[in-house]
Structure 1
Amino acid sequence: MPCLIARPAAAEVRAPDTSADAAVDGYTYAELTPESDIGSAPLADEVALAIAYNGLSQAVMMVSPNDLEDFVHGFSLGAGFIESIDDIYDIRLTPHGDAIAAEVQVSNRAFWALKEQRRQLAGNTGCGLCGVEALDQALPNLPVLPSAPLPPAAHLAGLRERVNAAQEIARRSGAVHAALFVDGSGEIRLCREDIGRHNALDKLIGALKRQRLDLRDGFAVVTSRCSLELIHKALRAGLPTLVSLSAPTALTVQWAREHNLNLIHLPHRSAPRVYSPAPKAV
Structure 2
Amino acid sequence: MEALAPELGWPGYRVRPVQRWRGPTAENIDDCVAEEAPIVLMYNGEPHVVMLATPLDLEDFALGFSLTEGIISRCSEVESVRVYERAEGIEVRLKVPPARCEAIGDKGRNLTGRTGCGLCGARTLEQAIKKPPPVRSTVTVKADEMIRALRQLRDRQRLNSLTGAVHAAAWVVPGQGLLQLREDVGRHNALDKLIGALSRQRVDFPAGYVVVTSRASFEMVQKCAMVGVGLMAAISAPTGLAIKLAEEAGLTLVGFARDDSHVVYSHPQRLFHG
Contact kept, 8 Å, 2:169 with 2:183, in 1: the verdict is yes
* Structure 2 equivalent of residue 15 of structure 1: none
* Structure 2 equivalent of residue 54 of structure 1: 44
Q: CA deviation at 1:205?
A: 0.4
Question: What letter is aligned with 1:264?
Answer: V
Which stretches in structure 2 are left out of the alignment for 5+ residues?
1-9, 270-274
Which of 136, 153, 156 is 1:163 aligned to?
Answer: 153
Q: CA deviation at 1:157?
A: 3.1
* Structure 2 equivalent of residue 208 of structure 1: 198
Q: CA deviation at 1:229?
A: 0.6
Partner-residue secondary structure (3-state), 1:37: strand
CA deviation profile, 1:116-152 (whole Å, cap 9, x unmatched): 445xx89x9xx9989x951001212321112524311
* Structure 1 equivalent of residue 73 of structure 2: 83
Aligned residues: CA RMSD: 2.9
* Structure 2 equivalent of residue 250 of structure 1: 240
Question: What letter is aligned with 2:20?
Answer: E
Which of 40, 53, 73 is 2:63 aligned to?
Answer: 73
Contact kept, 8 Å, 1:223 with 1:245, in 2: the verdict is yes
Contact kept, 8 Å, 2:61 with 2:192, in 1: the verdict is yes
Partner-residue secondary structure (3-state), 1:80: coil
CA deviation profile, 1:165-224 (whole Å, cap 9, x unmatched): 111111111200000001132411000000000000000000111100111221111110
Which stretches in structure 1 are left out of the alignment for 5+ residues?
1-17
* Structure 1 equivalent of residue 84 of structure 2: 94
Larger Cα Rg: Structure 1 or Structure 2?
1
- Give aligned-pair identity as a percent: 33
The answer as to 2:270 corresponding to 1:273 is no
The answer as to 2:252 corresponding to 1:262 is yes
* Structure 1 equivalent of residue 127 of structure 2: 137
Contact kept, 8 Å, 1:91 with 1:105, in 2: the verdict is yes
Contact kept, 8 Å, 1:148 with 1:262, in 2: the verdict is no
The answer as to 2:213 corresponding to 1:223 is yes
Question: 2:14 & 2:184 partners in 1: Cα distance?
Answer: 20
Question: 2:261 & 2:233 partners in 1: Cα distance?
Answer: 13
Question: 1:77 & 1:138 partners in 2: Cα distance?
Answer: 15
Instruction: Return the TM-score normalized by structure 2.
Output: 0.83
Contact kept, 8 Å, 1:25 with 1:40, in 2: the verdict is no
Alignment of 1:122-133 (within 5 A): none
Change in 2 beyond 3 A, CA 1:77/1:44? same
More strand per residue:
2
Q: Which runs of 4+ in 1 moved over 6 A?
A: 127-130
Instruction: Return the TM-score normalized by structure 1.
Output: 0.81
CA deviation profile, 1:85-111 (whole Å, cap 9, x unmatched): 222111110111461111111112211
Equivalent pairs counted in the alignment come to 254
